[in-house]
Chains A and B, each alone.
Chain A
Amino acid sequence: MTARMLDKRMSAGDIVAQLSDGMTIGIGGWGPRRKPMALVREILRSDLKDLTVVAYGGADVGMLCAAGKVRKLVFAFVSLDAIPLEPWFRKARESGALEVLELDEGMFQWGLKAAAFGLPFLPTRVGLGTDLAELGGLKTVQSPYDDAETLIAMPALKLDAALIHVNRSDWRGNVQVFGPDIYYDEWFARAAAKSFVSCEELVDRMEDHYPDNAAANVFERCFVSGVVEMPCGAHPSSMPPHYGWDMKAFKAYADSARDPGDWEAVKDRFVGASEAEYLANIGGKEAVTGLPLPIF
């Protein structure tokens, strides 16, 4: 009798086929860093719509907004760092077409943690004294202990699915996530009913290849429903140590929001008909892996 082999390999298309209209989708990474852009592009090639997107936003959010995929956005910022204001996101916001829940960066991860632990909310001081609570309909709770402190009840940010780009995975979803900062990827994974990861490198059995790096397994395979190998899958965002961000590509993308300012007219450049075509258009893997890591 042979042991069952857990094989979670999927194509990017299979992953997007697991998503449906109206879902709440969390996207890992932070601004222009570690974004699962290849999976985002796959969504942009699909007819998926009415999404609630939960992200520390960069071009992922800008593109999905530009393409009209987003009904509601849960965010603390949307930025490309060196291009501080994400122009496609701005356009969507200023058109009034987007429903939003604006949160502090810390409250945001607190909401993911509440979802991960199956709690309705987690208490925090953050948000008091600002306009966030009123604008976002956030309620307060009172400490039942002697201090009787009033706190914001940060609601759980429950995700139907999370999309995350990691450095390595095996077929079973044993991921390795490394680089200077992994942001809140592990909490996106735990907050989601299903998480799908794209990876720079896919191996059959992690223990046969990188057993010495097991400490980089920052979320466990029970949180992974599907894996796909997509080298350069974070482009144009950065994916240290493999490659830095592509500021030239970000700039072209940002400039296109003004001229011509029409997503339909430029989407072929920034999405492409397939990931292979996209990669070829930007000069192939060599061009991406040659991008220097950003300095701050």
Chain B
Amino acid sequence: MSDITLVDLCIFACSEAFRDNGEIVATGVGPVPRLAAGLAKLTHTPELMMTDGEAYLVEQPVPLGPRAYDARKPAGHLPFSRFFDSAVWSGRRHAMVTPTQLDRFGQINLSYMGGTYQKPKTQMLGVRGFPGNTIYHPNSFFFPAHGPRVFVPEVDMISGVGYNPAKRTPGGNFSAVDLRVIVTNLCVMDFAGPENAIRVVSLHPGVTFDEVQAATGFELAQAGTMTETAMPSVEALEVIAALDPHNIRASVIKDNPPAVRAA
């Protein structure tokens, strides 16, 4: 068991977020979420739809890293020019992403940190599609380095909708806001605490709740029974390895540690 890595455990945990999601577009941005979506499709949820990362829908998830341009086999077409019509604004999508910050309401930020809208201290990407994604379809998150700079009491710029009562515009339809799962290098969390509070559901092997709390900038809830995060099956490990032939995932979590910490 000692050769199972923490990143593979995280991919396995992330893939559970897509279980039984139905015929929707599973989008994983970044190596771990993307491998997780592919793993979900190839194991428990074959009805998932996904793209090759560009514009084509594929039934066989595309491996990460260098390969021939035409190695992917398009089964359909979902370009950005139709993305809002077909996937986002129809609610037929579940995205797993890594924003720069996430706060106690599940609000996310990838626009800027510090300073003001007129003069940000650190400009990042811009809100991209997050405002639309979060009001229209389910979203989950993966963070490779759980820490208080990521999990902040309140984000600097609200780029994605969360469960903050103060941001519920009267008369607005927030019924599709659906934040599902947060997987980090320490634990798995969801939004099922009191008033959608973020709640630790399972701890990775050897991690304590206190350690997670200390690495989080707001108070966390706990599931009634916190379990240990499940180890990936042999089948899952094989699928992950096949989808990542260049082992790009090894660089995601610092030092690529084993799933079970050394005693």
- Bound form: Cα–Cα A140–B168 in Å: 13
Min CB gap B58→A, angstroms? 11
B229 to chain A, nearest CB (A): 29
CB distance from A31 to the nearest CB of B (A): 10
- Interface window among B9-17, B41-49, B155-163, B251-259: B155-163
B116, chain A: closest CB distance, angstroms: 8
CA distance A30 to B54 in the complex (A): 12
The answer on a CB contact under 8 Å between A77 and B128 is yes
Min C-beta distance of A258 to chain B, whole Å? 15
B159 in contact with A131 (CB, 8 Å) = yes
Chain A-chain B contacts (Cβ-Cβ < 8 Å), number:
150
CA distance A3 to B92 in the complex (A): 51
Contact B117 A135 (CB under 8 A): yes
Please state if B80 and A125 are interface contacts (CB–CB under 8 Å). no
* Interchain CB contact (< 8 A) of B167 among A90, A106, A129, A296: A129
How far is B159's CA from A102's CA once the two chains are assembled, in angstroms?
10
Within the complex, the shortest CB–CB distance from B57 to chain A, in Å, comes to: 12
B206 within 8 A of A: no
Bound complex: CA of A245 vs CA of B71, how far in Å? 19
Distance, CA A41 to CA B68, complexed state (A): 32
Q: Does B225 contact A (CB under 8 A)?
A: no
Indicate if the CB atoms of A103 and B69 lie closer than 8 Å.
Answer: no
How many angstroms between the C-alpha atoms of A140 and B135 in the bound complex? 16
Tell me the nearest residue of chain B to A109, going by C-beta.
B84
- Taking a contact as CB atoms under 8 Å apart, the answer to whether A127 and B131 are in contact is yes
Complex Cα gap A130–B128 (Å): 13
Q: Per-residue 0/1 for B135-174: is the Cβ within 8 Å of any A Cβ (1 yes, 0 no)?
A: 1100000000000000000000111111010011111111
Q: Are A104 and B120 in contact (CB under 8 A)?
A: no
Q: Are A103 and B174 in contact (CB under 8 A)?
A: no
Q: Is B174's CB under 8 angstroms from A128's CB?
A: yes
Residue B81 is within 8 A (CB to CB) of chain A in the complex: yes
Instruction: State which residues 108-164 of A face B: CB under 8 Å.
Output: 109-110, 125-133, 135, 140, 142, 148-151
Name B135's contact: one of A57, A93, A94, A129 (CB within 8 Å).
A129
Could you say which residues of chain A place their CB within 8 Å of the CB of B89?
A: 106, 126
Residues of B within 8 A of A48 (CB): none
Give the size category of B's interface with A.
35 or more
From A96, which residue of chain B is reached at the shortest CB distance?
B119
Would you call B123 and A93 a contact (CB within 8 A)? yes
CA separation between A19 and B32, bound complex, in Å? 46
Q: Do the beta carbons of A148 and B171 come within 8 Å of each other?
A: yes
B56 neighbours in A (Cβ, 8 Å): 180
Q: Which of B69, B126, B132 has the most CB of A within 10 A?
A: B126
Checking A85, A94, A130, A148 against B127 with a beta-carbon cut-off of 8 angstroms, the contacting residue is: A130
Does any Cβ of A come within 8 Å of B193's Cβ?
Answer: no
In the complex, what residue of chain A is closest to B53 when comparing beta carbons?
Answer: A296
User: Quick check: B66 and A295 within 8 Å, CB to CB?
Assistant: yes
Q: What's the nearest-Cβ distance from chain B to residue A244, in Å?
A: 8
Residues in B whose Cβ lies below 8 Å from that of A151: 172
Q: Does B212 contact A (CB under 8 A)?
A: no
| Contact among A76, A109, A125, A131 for B173, CB-based, below 8 A | A125
**Is the CB of A196 closer than 8 A to any CB of chain B?**
no
Residues on A with beta carbons closer than 8 Å to the beta carbon of B131: 104, 107, 126-127, 129-130, 132
Q: Are B132 and A105 in contact (CB under 8 A)?
A: yes
In the assembled complex, A255 has its CB within 8 A of some CB on chain B: no
**Distance from B30 Cβ to chain A, minimum over Cβ atoms (Å):** 11
**Closest chain A CB from B135 CB (angstroms):** 5
Structural contact, B158 and A126, CB atoms closer than 8 A: no
Q: How far is the CA of A293 from the CA of B117 in the complex (A)?
A: 36
B118: CB under 8 A from chain A?
yes
Who on chain B is nearest to A90 by CB? B123
Asked if A126 and B123 sit within 8 Å, CB to CB, the answer is no
Asked whether A75 is an interface residue with its Cβ less than 8 Å from the other chain, the reply is yes
- Write out the residue numbers on chain B whose beta carbons fall within 8 Å of the beta carbon of A107: 131-132
Q: Can you show 18 pairs from A to B with CB atoms below 8 A apart?
A: A77-B125, A79-B125, A79-B126, A85-B124, A93-B119, A95-B119, A102-B126, A106-B84, A125-B172, A127-B131, A128-B172, A129-B134, A131-B158, A131-B159, A135-B117, A149-B171, A293-B69, A296-B54
> In the complex, given contacts A79-B125, A94-B122, A293-B69, what are 16 additional A-B residue pairs having Cβ atoms less than 8 angstroms apart?
A76-B126, A77-B127, A93-B112, A95-B119, A102-B127, A105-B129, A126-B136, A127-B131, A129-B167, A130-B131, A130-B159, A130-B167, A135-B117, A150-B172, A182-B79, A183-B79
Q: Which 6 pairs across A and B sit closest by C-beta, in order of nearness?
A: A296-B53, A96-B119, A150-B171, A129-B161, A181-B79, A77-B126
User: Interface residues, chain B, CB within 8 Å of chain A?
Assistant: 52-56, 62, 66-69, 71, 79-81, 84, 88-89, 107, 111-112, 115, 117-132, 134-136, 157-162, 164, 167-174, 177
